[in-house]
C-alpha cells in the first residue's frame, strides 16, 4: 500500500499533533502515522503543566517572573548543557503556544502554579485533566477541517531517503502489511523518547553513570510504545544523536506501575517528602534529578508525599490527574488521618519523627518564625504567599507512597531553531524535521518540570511550518 500527503508526521503525541495541525493551517494535507490505536503518547499522561511566561503580564509581575528568568532557570537547571539558541526559542515562543492553543479552543485555568521540578510558579494548567485537553482540541480541529489523515496501529520502521532527501517512511500496518508513506514536502519525526526501552536506558546510563541502575527494576511513567524508534531510525540515515546519556527520573512513581497517577500533590508549595523514618531528606522545590538521587539514598528507595487538608478542603477534590482524593483513599492508594499521629501509624513511620518533621517545616511557612528564609535543604518555595496554605497543620492529613520512575529522555536527534534534523557531519538533513522528546540538546542534563509540553508545542509548531515550507529541488 502506498499513501501520500504534503507533510508526513510520525507519532501522534504532543509534538506530532502540534506539527500536523500547524501544517494543515498552512494549507497542507497531512498524514499522521501512529503506532498506538489512538493519539496522545506520553503527553496525554502528563499532569498538563505548561510553562510559559506572558512577559509583563499581571501574573508574571505578581510572581516576579519573566521570559529571561525562564531562560536562566531552564539553561542552568540543565547544567548549561542545552543549546542556548534552542532554549531561547523554547522560552520566547512558549506563551504564543498558549495563545495558539486557546485560538483552537483549548481552555486553561486562571493563574499559574509550581509543578514539581519546575522551580518557579509559571505552569499553566489546562481545564481538562492530564494532557487530555490537548488531544480533545486536536481531534476537534481534525473533525472540523479537511486534510489530516490519522493512520493508527501502524509502526514507522525506516525513513526513505532519495538523492539525499528524506521523502517518506516505510511502515508496518496492523496485519503485518507494509505501508509506504510519501511526503511532497517534509517529514516530521515526533516519536517521543526511549523511557520504555530498557536496553537503551542501560546503555546510555553507562555513559553518564548518573543513576545507580536503570534496569527493569526501575519503572517508568511512559506508555509502552515509547521505545526510541525515532532515534534509531534517524541514526540509521545519518542523524546526529546528542546527549543520549541525559535521562530524567521523577521521585513520584506509583510503586506498582511507575505511573504518575495516584500522585496527590497539587503544587510544590503545599507538600513535603518524608522517608520511612518520618523525616524530610531533600529540597522538595529543587531539581528533579537532585530530588530523585536523594530518594535513591533513602530506605527502600521509598518516600511519602505528605500534606494537609488545605489541598483537599472538601475531601473529594481531584488531584492533577483527574482522580478524586476520596477514591484514592478508598482504594488504599492514599492514606488519610485526622491527626499526624494516626497518619504516622498508617504510614508505618515513627510518630514522634513525623510530628517533629512537620513542626520544623511549618516554621518556614506563612506566619512561621522563619518565614521568608531558606530551610536546611535550601528550600525557598513555601506556602507563604496565598494565605491558605499556611503549612501542614489542618487535618485531615494525607500521605501517598512514591518511588523513583523513569520519566523523560533529554537526549535525541539534534535539531536547529527551525527544527531541521542535523547530521553527524553537522549538515541539515533535507526533508527531515523533528520535535518533542525525540530531539536532544534543549533541556541539558535535567529538564525543568513543565517545559516538556512547552517543547512539544513550540517545536511541534516550528516543525510543522518548516516541513510545510520545505520544497524538493527536482
Nearest by Cα to 77 from 23, 133, 120: 120
We find the least distance from the C-beta atom of residue 438 to ligand ADP, in angstroms, to be: 6
Sign of CA dihedral 63, 314, 337, 264: negative
We find the least distance from the C-beta atom of residue 432 to ligand ADP, in angstroms, to be: 15
What character string, x for contact with ligand ADP (CB under 6 A) and - otherwise, covers 137-176?
A: ------------------xx--------------------
What character string, x for contact with ligand ADP (CB under 6 A) and - otherwise, covers 218-237?
A: -------xx--x--------
Closest residue to ligand ADP: CB criterion: 13
Please count the residues of this chain forming the interface with ligand ADP, following the rule CB under 6 A.
26
Please list every residue from 349 through 388 that binds ligand ADP, using CB under 6 A. none
Q: What is the dihedral of CA 188, 194, 196, 200, to 10 degrees?
A: 140
Q: Which is nearer to ligand ADP, 219 or 436 (CB)?
A: 436
Rg of the chain on CA atoms, in Å: 22
Question: Would you give the DSSP letter of residue 233?
Answer: H
Q: Which is nearer to ligand ADP, 193 or 285 (CB)?
A: 193
We find the least distance from the C-beta atom of residue 191 to ligand ADP, in angstroms, to be: 4
Question: Would you give the DSSP letter of residue 445?
Answer: T
Nearest by Cα to 71 from 438, 408, 409, 448: 448
Q: Which is nearer to ligand ADP, 43 or 405 (CB)?
A: 43
Q: Which is nearer to ligand ADP, 225 or 255 (CB)?
A: 225
We find the least distance from the C-beta atom of residue 174 to ligand ADP, in angstroms, to be: 12
What character string, x for contact with ligand ADP (CB under 6 A) and - otherwise, covers 112-141?
A: ------------------------------
We find the least distance from the C-beta atom of residue 192 to ligand ADP, in angstroms, to be: 3
Distance CA 121, CA 99 (A): 19
Q: Which is nearer to ligand ADP, 16 or 117 (CB)?
A: 16
The cell for 109 is 485555568
With residue 465 as reference, give the H or E element that holds it: helix 451-469
Work out whether 456 is an interface residue with ligand ADP (CB under 6 A): yes
Please list every residue from 181 through 210 that binds ligand ADP, using CB under 6 A. 190-192
Backbone angles phi, psi at 148, to 5 degrees: -110, 120
Name the catalytic one among 122, 280, 288, 333. Answer: 288
Distance CA 290, CA 251 (A): 10
Backbone angles phi, psi at 147, to 5 degrees: 115, -5
We find the least distance from the C-beta atom of residue 241 to ligand ADP, in angstroms, to be: 15
Q: Decide if 288 is catalytic.
A: yes
Q: Which is nearer to ligand ADP, 19 or 343 (CB)?
A: 19
Distance CA 259, CA 245 (A): 22
Q: Which is nearer to ligand ADP, 226 or 250 (CB)?
A: 226
With residue 397 as reference, give the H or E element that holds it: strand 397-409
We find the least distance from the C-beta atom of residue 156 to ligand ADP, in angstroms, to be: 4
Q: How many CB atoms lie within 10 A of CB 352?
A: 11
Nearest by Cα to 47 from 278, 314, 309, 250: 250
Residue 318 pairs in a beta bridge with: 324
DSSP code per residue over 40-101? -TTGGGS---EE---TTSHHHHHTT--HHHHHHHHHHHTTT-S-HHHHHHHHHHHHHHHHHH
Please list every residue from 6 through 65 that binds ligand ADP, using CB under 6 A. 10-16, 33-36, 41-43
Interface residues toward ligand ADP, by CB under 6 A = 10-16, 33-36, 41-43, 155-156, 190-192, 225-226, 229, 436-438, 456
Residues designated catalytic = 288
Amino acid at each position: 500500500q502506498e499513501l501520500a500527503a504534503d507533510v508526513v508526521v510520525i507519532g501522534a503525541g504532543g509534538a506530532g499533533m502540534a506539527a500536523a495541525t500547524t501544517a494543515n493551517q498552512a494549507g497542507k494535507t497531512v498524514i499522521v502515522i501512529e503506532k498506538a490505536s489512538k493519539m496522545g503518547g506520553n503527553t496525554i499522561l502528563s499532569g498538563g503543566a505548561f510553562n510559559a511566561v506572558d512577559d509583563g503580564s499581571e501574573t508574571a509581575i505578581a510572581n516576579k517572573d519573566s521570559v529571561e528568568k525562564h531562560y536562566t532557570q531552564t539553561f542552568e537547571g540543565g547544567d548549561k548543557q542545552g543549546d542556548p539558541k534552542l532554549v531561547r526559542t523554547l522560552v520566547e515562543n512558549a506563551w504564543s503556544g498558549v495563545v495558539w492553543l486557546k485560538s483552537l479552543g483549548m481552555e486553561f485555568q486562571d493563574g499559574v502554579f509550581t509543578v514539581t521540578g519546575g522551580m518557579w510558579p509559571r505552569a499553566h494548567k489546562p481545564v481538562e485533566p492530564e494532557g487530555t485537553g490537548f488531544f480533545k482540541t486536536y481531534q476537534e480541529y481534525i473533525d472540523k477541517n479537511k486534510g489530516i489523515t490519522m493512520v493508527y496501529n501502524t509502526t514507522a520502521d525506516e525513513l526513505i531517503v532519495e538523492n539525499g532527501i528524506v521523502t517518506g517512511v516505510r511502515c508496518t500496518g496492523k496485519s503485518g502489511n507494509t505501508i509506504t508513506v510519501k511526503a511532497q514536502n517534509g517529514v516530521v519525526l515526533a516519536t517521543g523518547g526511549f523511557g520504555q526501552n530498557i536496553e537503551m536506558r542501560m546503555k546510555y546510563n553507562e555513559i553518564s553513570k548518573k543513576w545507580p541502575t536503570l534496569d527493569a527494576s526501575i519503572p517508568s511513567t511512559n506508555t509502552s510504545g515509547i521505545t526510541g524508534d525515532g532515534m534509531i531510525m534517524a541514526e540509521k540515515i545519518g542523524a546526529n544523536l546528542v546527549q543520549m546519556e541525559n535521562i530524567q527520573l521523577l521521585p513520584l512513581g506509583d510503586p506498582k506501575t511507575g505511573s504518575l497517577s495516584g500522585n496527590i500533590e497539587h503544587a510544590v508549595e503545599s507538600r513535603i517528602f518524608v522517608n520511612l523514618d518520618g523525616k524530610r531528606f531533600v529540597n522538595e522545590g529543587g531539581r528533579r534529578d537532585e530530588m530523585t538521587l536523594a530518594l535513591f539514598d533513602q530506605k527502600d528507595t521509598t518516600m511519602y508525599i505528605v500534606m494537609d487538608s488545605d489541598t483537599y478542603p472538601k475531601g473529594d477534590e481531584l488531584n492533577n490527574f483527574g482522580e478524586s482524593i476520596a477514591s484514592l483513599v478508598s482504594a488504599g492508594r492514599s492514606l488519610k488521618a485526622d491527626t499526624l499521629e494516626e497518619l504516622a501509624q498508617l504510614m508505618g513511620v515513627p510518630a514522634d519523627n513525623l510530628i517533629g518533621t512537620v513542626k520544623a517545616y511549618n516554621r518556614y511557612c506563612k506566619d512561621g518564625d522563619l518565614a521568608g528564609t531558606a530551610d536546611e535543604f535550601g528550600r525557598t518555595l513555601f506556602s507563604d504567599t496565598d494565605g491558605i496554605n499556611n503549612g501542614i497543620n489542618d487535618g485531615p492529613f494525607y500521605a501517598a507512597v512514591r518511588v523513583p520512575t523513569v520519566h523523560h529522555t533529554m537526549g535525541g536527534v539534534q535539531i536547529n531553531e527551525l527544527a531541521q534534523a542535523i547530521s553527524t557531519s553537522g549538515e541539515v538533513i533535507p526533508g527531515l524535521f523533528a520535535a518533542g522528546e525525540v530531539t536532544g540538546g534543549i533541556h541539558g542534563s535535567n529538564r525543568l518540570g513543565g517545559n516538556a509540553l512547552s517543547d512539544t508545542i513550540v517545536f511541534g509548531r516550528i516543525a510543522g511550518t518548516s516541513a510545510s515550507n520545505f520544497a524538493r529541488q527536482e
